[in-house]
Structure 1
Amino acid sequence: MVSTPHVPERTCIGCRCKAPRAQLLRLALTDSGELTVDARALMPGRGAWIHPDPACVDLAERRRAFGRALRMRGSPDVAPVRDWIRTNAVNHVRTPAPPPDRGRQTDSKGG
């Protein structure tokens, strides 16, 4: 039996696509209630995940997903996220996840 390692998946709050956790950014609220990028994914509390792509940030902002995902009233200021993506997004490449390899092979009879 072929075993594959478990890869945690999260859902982007912008495009609503699932992706491996390593391809997404975790967003969290600071103690003062400001939105920040949790690049190491270690901050305590509720977080939201988003692709490091300005299009996903636009979608999430248009859908008012930041406040909903972080369970806060209103929408937070998204400027720190945009700034982080503008300066650091070179290291995060949005690539589609390969289909899962279930280790199965079929013969000509479908079995």
Structure 2
Amino acid sequence: MVRRVSSVAPVRTCIGCRERAPASELLRFVAVGLELRPDPGRRLPGRGAHLHPGPACFAQAERRRAFGRALRLTGVPDTGPLAEHVRAV
């Protein structure tokens, strides 16, 4: 049996602008309860979603209410910790 190693980087979709980009260019985040936490190391457990690390895509995702849909949450997610991380980057 021959194993093939793919040299293609994983591609994800930004929930803000809906553009596809390599996962290394996007910020992964997860929901812990209803709190959204950034996961720059891509190690936190649970369902994750991706976002360009800029305020424009963050604002667009908030306006479209994309956070809850992307993470399949019931209720209004707390975007505070994620917003602070996006502002700091």
TM range (shorter): 0.7 to 0.9
Contact 2:35 2:79 in 1 (8 A): no
Contact 1:64 1:75 in 2 (8 A): no
Looking at structure 1, the residues matched to 87 and 48 of structure 2 have their Cα atoms a distance apart, in angstroms, of 21
The alignment's C-alpha RMSD in Å is 1.3
> 4+ residue stretches of structure 1 with deviation over 6 A?
none
Alpha-carbon shift at residue 75 of structure 1 (Å): 2.8
Alpha-carbon shift at residue 81 of structure 1 (Å): 1.2
Q: Report the secondary structure of 2:24's partner residue.
A: helix
Looking at structure 1, the residues matched to 55 and 76 of structure 2 have their Cα atoms a distance apart, in angstroms, of 17
Q: Report the secondary structure of 1:19's partner residue.
A: strand
**Structure 2 residue 26 is the aligned partner of structure 1 residue 27:** no
2:8 equivalent among 6, 9, 34 = 6
Write out per-residue CA displacement over residues 4-32 of structure 1, whole angstroms, 9 at most, x where no aligned residue: 821111000000000000100011012x4
Looking at structure 1, the residues matched to 52 and 38 of structure 2 have their Cα atoms a distance apart, in angstroms, of 12
Counterpart residue number, 1:73: 74
**Number of residue pairs matched?**
84
| Gapped regions of structure 1 (runs ≥ 5) | 90-111
Higher relative contact order (CA 8 A, sep 6+): 2
Looking at structure 2, the residues matched to 18 and 66 of structure 1 have their Cα atoms a distance apart, in angstroms, of 17
| Gapped regions of structure 2 (runs ≥ 5) | 1-5
Q: Whose strand fraction is larger, Structure 1's or Structure 2's?
A: 2
Looking at structure 1, the residues matched to 24 and 65 of structure 2 have their Cα atoms a distance apart, in angstroms, of 24
The TM-score, its normalising length taken from structure 2, stands at: 0.87
Contact 1:9 1:21 in 2 (8 A): yes
The TM-score, its normalising length taken from structure 1, stands at: 0.71
Among the aligned pairs, what percent are the same residue? 51
Looking at structure 1, the residues matched to 46 and 55 of structure 2 have their Cα atoms a distance apart, in angstroms, of 24
**Structure 2 residue 48 is the aligned partner of structure 1 residue 47:** yes
Q: Whose helix fraction is larger, Structure 1's or Structure 2's?
A: 2
Which of these two proteins has the greater Rg computed from alpha carbons? Answer: 1
